[in-house]
Structure 1
Amino acid sequence: MDMSSTLDLAVRAIRGADPARFGDPTPCPEFTVAALIDHMASGMRLAENSARRVVVAWDPGSSPVLGGLDEKDWAQACADQADATAAAWADPAAWEGDAHMAETPMPAAVIGSLMTAEFALHAWDLAVATGQRLDVAPDVGRAVLDGVTPVAQMGRDGGWYGPEVPVGDGASDWERALAASGRDPARS
């Protein structure tokens, strides 16, 4: 599984988001649609920097990818950033050793797994907020579950995941990943 699959999900959701809905709320209470797209684009840049072993001071109030662009240009800017991020993580060496997430050192494989999950989860958030359908292949769902499971409790404790949502025994890996991250898979 490579990161490009979840980046593709994110870009499809971003391309499908009508700028007329950029002020709408999302399942992430702290983000409007526009703020979520900006967060996703910024995450893509962070992930690219991590893969390339670029350590940067990160200002969460800045918009390193979308700042200064007209909203009509956001989708293409995100697609371009996603391509750069996917290319950086396509190198097997990107997954080895240690890297930094902004200025925080950690194993590169952990960063890769976290960000792989992050892009898919936020693609779902954006799809739900903008009335889109998000089709997730079983292998992608499994990779996202693998990324969410080890950090789910830490995410709940840190406030970046909500309480786990119960799902039935027949739930897919994707549905289980959504539920573990505090998202209700039945929400549309």
Structure 2
Amino acid sequence: MNDMSRTIDLAVTAIRGADPARFTDPTPCPDFTVAALIDHMASGMLLAENSARRVVRPWDPGSSPVLGGVAHEEWAKACAAQAAATAAAWDDPGAWEGEAHMAETPMPAAMIGSLMTAEFALHAWDLAVATGQRLDVPDDLGQVVLDGVGPVAQMGRDGGWYGPEVPLDEGASAWERALSASGRDPRRT
């Protein structure tokens, strides 16, 4: 199982654990309720699948291509199906090679894979925190996420999709440092 599949599994676990009764609750992402975050995660999975399969499509950030019209009680099932398709697409070693597109933006495929691997883990944490779940991230996967976040952290802060880096004590794990670099406080529960 590749690292993206592992972070997709984290995301699906958090989505399955999110009670639809909490869909209007806030999340650590100031722009997202629980429902909006799950929709964003599902849409990101489709975007990542398209990248791996070299599908170039315009992207409407206000659309809901995976969960639009799906009853909240069925969201976990719909997300799991999309997650399986995304994981299968990135399981092909060729998906990581050459150039691909993030919607219509050309980028190195490996960069897209790294960004989305980190994205799925970070948003799994956001959702887990918002819905009172525990998210267990193995040390080696925490390092993979940190490796994905580190090179883009300043660009993320400049672009507004990461918050200011959160100071941590010495000895913080790679996962905690990844959260911190992306503007998330790993001590938040």
Task: Give the corresponding residue for 1:171.
Answer: 172
How far does residue 2 in structure 1 lie from its aligned partner after superposition? Answer: 2.4
- The alpha-carbon deviation at position 169 of structure 1 amounts to 1.6
2:147 counterpart residue number: 146
* TM-score relative to the length of structure 1: 0.99
CA distance in 1, matches of 2:172, 2:90: 30
Post-superposition Cα deviations, 1:117-138, rounded to whole Å, max 9, x if no partner, equal: 0000000000000000000011
What is the CA-CA distance between 1:85 and the residue it aligns to? 0.3
User: For 2:106, what is the secondary structure of its paired residue?
Assistant: strand
Q: Is residue 57 from structure 1 mapped to residue 67 from structure 2 by the alignment?
A: no
Moved over 6 A (4+): none
Aligned to 2:89: 88
Query: SS of the counterpart of 2:68?
Result: coil
**1:52-84 deviation per Cα after TM superposition (whole angstroms, max 9, x unaligned):** 000001111110100000000000100010000
1:41 and 1:78 in contact (8 A); partners too: yes
* Distance of 1:43 and 1:37 partners within structure 2: 10
Kindly tell me the number of residue pairs found equivalent between the two proteins: 188
Task: Tell whether 2:177 aligns with 1:187.
Answer: no
The unaligned stretches of length 5 or more in structure 1 are none
Distance 2:43 2:140 in 1: 25
Residue in structure 2 matched with residue 123 of structure 1 by the alignment: 124
* 2:129 is aligned with 1:137: no
1:87 maps to a residue whose letter is A
Counterparts of 1:91 and 1:173 in 2: how far apart (Å)?
Answer: 27
Give secondary structure in 2 for the equivalent of 1:3. helix
Query: Runs of 5+ in structure 2 lacking a partner?
Result: none
C-alpha distance in 1, partners of 2:169/2:96?
34
Identity %: 82
Compute the TM-score of the two structures, normalised by the length of structure 2. 0.99
CA RMSD of aligned residues (A): 0.5
